[in-house]
Amino acid sequence: MKTQSKIALVLFICNLILVLIFGLGIYYFLNKYSFVDFYKRLETRAIITAKYNLEQDALNAEAFKTIREQYFEKLEQEREYVFEINANSTLSQAAEKYQLPLYFLKSVLKEGKTTSNDGNTFYAGIKYNQNNKLYLVVVTAENYYVSHHLRVLRNILFGGMFLIVLITIYLSIYFSKHIFDPIKQITDKVKQISTENIHLRLEEKDTNNNEISELTATFNDLLNRIETAFETQKNFISNASHELSTPLTSIIGEADVALIKERTIEDYQLAMQNILQQAERLDQITKSLLFLAQTGYKGKKIVFEVLRTDEIIWEVKSLIDRLNPQNHIILDLNLLPEDHKRLKIKGNRQLLQLALANILNNACKYSHNKPVIVYLASSDNQVIIVIKDEGVGIPAEEMPYIYDPFFRASNTHLFEGYGIGLPLARNIIKLHEGQLTLSSEVNVGTTVQIKIPIALILKF
């Protein structure tokens, strides 16, 4: 059963139960009230009957009789019984003579007054003493309200409930359909979106902050992320295939040329050197890819320890000095905190060295070894490293792709590289629960900012 049908059914059942409870409640309380009210009428008539039948004062008796006849309506099948109870007249005889229930007469004699009913015939009786004589006064009648008015009320309630049921069914179906119309439209639109037209988006009609507009916005946001992932995958496949095919093509070409005809030892050695160089390049690309994948996988257990960031920066600078003596890396220590503990972080030394080495190598390479300034500072809960160069920069329109593996800016074709260093560095910083942000301007330079949480050192 569809959710729409379930909602319509639940609404119908709930409304039906409420209507039944309401209708039955009205019928029950009115029926109960009709009994009480009718008994009071009969008791009043019994008292007046005793007054004008047994009162010695003829004037008062006539007045009661006049009130009874003029102001009290005649009840259906109304009868009055007044009889004396003495040694010569028993209750059994009276019950048989007047066709009254014996149990009722006994109750009147015992209680002084009582009421009862037999089906739709109601009884009210009182015990009356007059001139040292004991009388029983009984008034009987049929409850017209129960036999007629409540029947009409019952018919009205059943008719009303039937009408309400029809209205409820219509409204349940109508509202459930209109409530689910926007969801159905979203479902139909999403079914039309595939990898060929992933640029399509759901139309956000409602500006109100309701569930449907939130669902539409969530779907659009999801589609944006999926489209970005597809574009990233495309760029990765395109760039990776190019980077991997180049050394493979060189290796195959060198081998083919060397095997076409017999050559000198020097030619074979040169071919082997070229093959070795391309194989090393291929090996480096493959290792970088594997390492990038490992740093992106959070399930891998990495050993962390408390480290000082200034020491790591000096170690990386020493390494680059050996590999690239022409570098011009400058460490600006003016912002160092007085407390050395605010420079301590929890991390993996080798990974952090690799990340900083990649960033600093890129800064030196793309700036032709112009000055690269490294700032080190700390806030209340973070160590901040800023690396600023004067290199070629990155075009603004290419900034969204800088973290895609193998992506290289369009103005870096004169520089060697694979486009893996920056994504690898960002993954490493993420593993340390830090942030890496980059800003750049063409022919002005690039600034990389790294923030890593300060290590919590327990004091004893």
Q: What is the pLDDT of residues 147-157, one digit of tens each?
A: 666 677 778 87
Asked whether residue 445 falls in the same domain as residue 311, the answer is yes
Within a domain: 159: no
Asked whether residue 354 falls in the same domain as residue 382, the answer is yes
Asked whether residue 274 falls in the same domain as residue 335, the answer is no
CA distances from 50 to 78, 88, 245, 398 (A): 15, 21, 123, 111
- Among 100-114, 230-244, 367-381, name the one with the lowest average pLDDT: 230-244
Torsion of CA 87, 88, 92, 98, to 10 degrees: -130
Asked whether residue 108 falls in the same domain as residue 52, the answer is yes
Asked whether residue 26 falls in the same domain as residue 85, the answer is yes
CB 409 within 8 A of CB 395: yes
Asked whether residue 291 falls in the same domain as residue 320, the answer is no
pLDDT attached to residue 459: 41
Within a domain: 156: no
Amino acid, single-letter form, for residue 189: K
Within a domain: 358: yes
The residue whose two tokens read 């000082």 is 308
Asked whether residue 36 falls in the same domain as residue 109, the answer is yes
Written as six digits, the tokens of 354 are 């690799």
Higher pLDDT, 424 or 286: 424
Distance (Å, whole) CA 387 – CA 331: 9
CA distances from 102 to 45, 77, 82, 96, 154 (A): 21, 20, 15, 8, 33
Domain boundary among the residues 150, 178, 194 is at 150
pLDDT attached to residue 99: 84
CATH no. for residue 351? 3.30.565.10
- pLDDT higher than 80, residue 87: no
- Closest by CA to 49, choosing from 104, 126, 105, is 126
pLDDT attached to residue 67: 63
DSSP annotation string for 301-321: ----EEEEHHHHHHHHHHHHH
Query: Which residues partner with 131 through β-bridges?
Result: none
* Helix, strand, or coil (residue 85): coil
> What is the 8-class DSSP label of residue 261?
S
Q: What's the average model confidence in pLDDT over 440-458?
A: 87
- pLDDT higher than 60, residue 71: no
Find the helix or strand (DSSP H, E) in which 107 lies.
helix 102-111
- Residue 234 half-sphere exposure toward CB, CA atoms < 13 A: 8
Distance (Å, whole) CA 179 – CA 281: 61
pLDDT attached to residue 344: 92
Other Cβ atoms closer than 10 A to 58: 9
Is the whole model's pTM more than 0.85, yes or no? Answer: no
Domain boundary among the residues 257, 273, 296 is at 296
Written as six digits, the tokens of 129 are 């003493």
- Pairing outcome for strands 445-453 and 382-388: antiparallel
The residue whose two tokens read 């060295």 is 353
Terminal CA-CA length for the chain: 65
pLDDT mean across residues, the chain: 80
CB 419 within 8 A of CB 408: yes
Instruction: Identify the top-confidence range among 37-41, 72-76, 246-250, 443-447.
Output: 443-447
pLDDT confidence bin for 259, thresholds 50/70/90: confident
CB 317 within 8 A of CB 329: yes
CB 434 within 8 A of CB 355: no
Within a domain: 90: yes
Within a domain: 11: yes
Distance (Å, whole) CA 353 – CA 314: 10
- pLDDT higher than 70, residue 300: no
The residue whose two tokens read 């076409």 is 260
CB 61 within 8 A of CB 52: yes
- Residue 170: φ, ψ to 5°: -65, -50
Asked whether residue 358 falls in the same domain as residue 235, the answer is no
Q: What's the average model confidence in pLDDT over 307-320?
A: 92
pLDDT confidence bin for 62, thresholds 50/70/90: low
What's the alpha-carbon Rg for the chain, to the nearest Å? 51
Q: Note the residue count of the chain.
A: 460
Within a domain: 399: yes
pLDDT attached to residue 439: 94
**How many domains does the chain fold into?**
3
- pLDDT higher than 70, residue 86: yes
Asked whether residue 334 falls in the same domain as residue 428, the answer is yes
Within a domain: 41: yes
Q: Tell me the pLDDT tens digit for each residue of 215-251.
A: 788 888 888 878 766 766 665 665 566 566 767 888 8
- pLDDT higher than 60, residue 119: yes
Q: Tell me the pLDDT tens digit for each residue of 17-37.
A: 887 888 788 777 776 666 777
Higher pLDDT, 299 or 37: 37
pLDDT attached to residue 460: 33
CB 254 within 8 A of CB 274: yes
- Closest by CA to 281, choosing from 235, 242, 248, 252, is 248
Question: Which domain range does residue 375 map to?
Answer: 305-453
Find the helix or strand (DSSP H, E) in which 386 lies.
strand 382-388
CB 450 within 8 A of CB 435: yes
Query: Which residues partner with 382 through β-bridges?
Result: 453
Within a domain: 334: yes
For the chain, what is the largest distance between any 2 Cα atoms, rounded to a whole number of angstroms?
Answer: 161
Domain boundary among the residues 240, 273, 296 is at 296
Asked whether residue 288 falls in the same domain as residue 310, the answer is no
Asked whether residue 285 falls in the same domain as residue 334, the answer is no
Find the helix or strand (DSSP H, E) in which 292 lies.
helix 265-296
Higher pLDDT, 339 or 197: 339
- pLDDT higher than 80, residue 392: yes
Asked whether residue 145 falls in the same domain as residue 242, the answer is no
- Closest by CA to 335, choosing from 387, 377, 386, is 377
pLDDT attached to residue 283: 77
- Those residues whose C-beta lies under 8 Å from the C-beta of residue 19, and which sit 6 or more positions away, are 161, 164, 165, 168
pLDDT attached to residue 317: 92
CATH no. for residue 277? 1.10.287.130
